[in-house]
Amino acid sequence: MTNIPGKNNSLISDLPLPPKGKSGWPWTDEFIFPYENGKKEYPRITIVTPSFNQGKFIEQTIRSVILQNYPNLEYIIMDGGSTDETVEIIKKYDRWISHWVSEKDKGQSDAINKGIGRGTGEIFNWINSDDYYSKDTFQKISETFVKSDADIIVGNYRYFEDENENKSKDSGKTIDFRLRETLEETIAFVLLNQPSSFFKLNLIKELGGLNVDLNFVMDQDLWKKYLFRFGQNNVNIIDSMFTHFRLHSDSKTFMNEFNNEYMNIYYSIAVQTDMTKQAGFLKSIYGKGFCKNYKFSFELTRENLELSRKVINSLIYFKARIAFTTGDIILFKKCKEVIDPIYLNKTQRSYLRRIKIKSLLMDMKLNSLLNLWRSLTNKKVTNYDGSADTELEKSKESN
């Protein structure tokens, strides 16, 4: 779908009427794209929506894409053969959709990969059929890509409980996005804000698309493949709300599966780089949810081998830190046994030494000495969420 530059196109009067009782964005409101005088071309944006039996939500998704009024949009819907009202809804918007199909597929990753294969744009993202974009997202994305030539542009997103969406305009929680100071910490700790992350499409294709063996964390696998290949210097972060992510009864049931599958990525990295004890630790904690056929795909160069060791040890260090803070001393000791401090940075090594000493004092029930230690080390440290706490506050006082 391509609008003709030169005037402020309006689509909302041409679209099917919204369902009864629906108002505001993207039902009765649209974004009027601000064309630049004399500009004939805008970067092509390809959006793919994978769908299966989400007729309750998909119309909001579709309208939030179309009513961006973006002048060079390619919108593709890959439906997995829905048996609810999904196909009828798609048909209503057929003239504004570049391509759609409803046929059996091998899952969400397969559907998205088919869309990627058809995509011809410069900029790419996928949006699930139960989420929706903010009204000026595509304008901000296109302007930033042109100015920065970034590989990836990431914004904020809001997640909300579906049943609370209409109770308050401020319902839900905003999730922002921040990189870490070092590449290994970013790979170890930072989850991609997928709904609000727009890639150069040619890089997605170069990375091989999504791994079809994953059901929940294919976006995180892609993100880490990108970081191993290209680093983090060409990721541009915008402090703006791009997407609204819906939590409902179906999506909530997958939280544990997501976590186990996510840790499978690190397990595969550890196995491929001969980190036997670290791989064994990850499997013992998370292995029941691992995908048997999954393998993280990256080039095993000398640099990546060194980076992998830093990533895995940083990850387990972070698990140790959380375990100690929450009083899970058993998990803390398991983490401590497999961490190789040589691959931690100076700050991590220092903090690990301190909590090892505290753990030893607690084991020996030397409470008075522990309290003295706490008072002597009561100084500011920076958390991974960017906030500041004291060592004393981070200790579990009940011990």
Nearest to 348 by CA among 391, 309, 313: 313
For the chain, the distance separating the N- and C-terminal CA atoms, rounded to the nearest angstrom, is 63
Nearest to 196 by CA among 230, 236, 149: 236
Angle CA 218–223–225, to nearest 5: 95
DSSP string, 245-290: EEE-HHHHTTHHHHHHHHHHHHHHHHHHTT-HHHHHHHHHHHGGG-
pLDDT digits (tens, 9 = 90+) for 292-305: 889 999 999 999 99
DSSP state at residue 300: -
Q: What does residue 74 show for φ and ψ, rounded to 5 degrees? A: -120, 110
pLDDT digits (tens, 9 = 90+) for 303-353: 999 999 999 999 999 999 999 999 898 999 999 999 999 999 999 999 998
Beta carbons of 175 and 252 less than 8 angstroms apart: no
The pTM of the full predicted model, rounded to 2 decimals, is 0.86
**Cβ contacts of residue 162 below 8 Å, gap of 6+?**
246, 247, 248
- The β-bridge partners of 46 are 74, 124
Residue ranges of the chain with per-residue pLDDT less than 70: 1-8, 162-171, 248-255, 361-399
Q: Decide the pairing of beta strands 99-102 and 73-79.
A: parallel
The helix/strand/coil state of 89 is helix
- The β-bridge partners of 160 are 246
> Which two three-digit tokens encode residue 158?
């809001």
Whole-angstrom distance, CA of residue 175 vs CA of residue 197: 13
Q: What confidence score (pLDDT) does residue 296 get?
A: 96
C-alpha distances out from residue 80 to 54, 76, 102, Å: 11, 13, 6
DSSP state at residue 30: -
> Which two three-digit tokens encode residue 115?
């869309």
> Which residue type sits at 235?
V
Q: What confidence score (pLDDT) does residue 160 get?
A: 84
Q: What confidence score (pLDDT) does residue 166 get?
A: 52
> Which residue type sits at 281?
F
Q: Where are the alpha helices (DSSP H) in 273-345?
A: 276-286, 302-326, 329-338
Whole-angstrom distance, CA of residue 394 vs CA of residue 90: 52
> Which residue type sits at 289?
G
Whole-angstrom distance, CA of residue 189 vs CA of residue 46: 29
> Which two three-digit tokens encode residue 190?
């930072």
Count of Cβ atoms closer than 10 Å to residue 232 Cβ? 17
Whole-angstrom distance, CA of residue 127 vs CA of residue 62: 10
Whole-angstrom distance, CA of residue 331 vs CA of residue 359: 12
pLDDT digits (tens, 9 = 90+) for 171-197: 678 889 999 999 999 999 999 999 999
Q: What confidence score (pLDDT) does residue 395 get?
A: 34
All structural domains of the chain, each given as residue ranges with its CATH number in brackets, are: 45-252 (3.90.550.10), 257-394 (no CATH)
Q: What confidence score (pLDDT) does residue 388 get?
A: 34
